[in-house]
Structure 1
Amino acid sequence: MEIKLNNGILYATLELTYNGKSKILDDIIIDTVAAHSISDLKNLKIYPYE
């Protein structure tokens, strides 16, 4: 799973595998109801930003 912060919204890319077949789901929104506190991760340099 890959997580990105874009404009204060968390997005995930998820790879699911079942019976040897895989499917990638892009741009899944993660609703934390706390986007204002998560946006502080950039300032803390916890997550790599582009």
Structure 2
Amino acid sequence: MIDEAKDKIFDASKSINDIANELGFKYQQHFARLFKQKTGMIPNEYRSMN
């Protein structure tokens, strides 16, 4: 799931909230928390870094 999220994050036309919804998260905060646990950075940091 995190690998799929990493791919989707690079689509600048989608917000982090859109990506979280596509992956089945009810709340964007839950997605961001899991993403940070697995990658060490929040989704916006990951998007801007890569």
TM-score, structure 1 normalization = 0.31
Relative CO higher for 1 or 2, CA cutoff 8 Å, sep ≥ 6? 2
Q: Which has the higher helix share?
A: 2
Q: Which has the higher strand share?
A: 1
TM-score, structure 2 normalization = 0.31
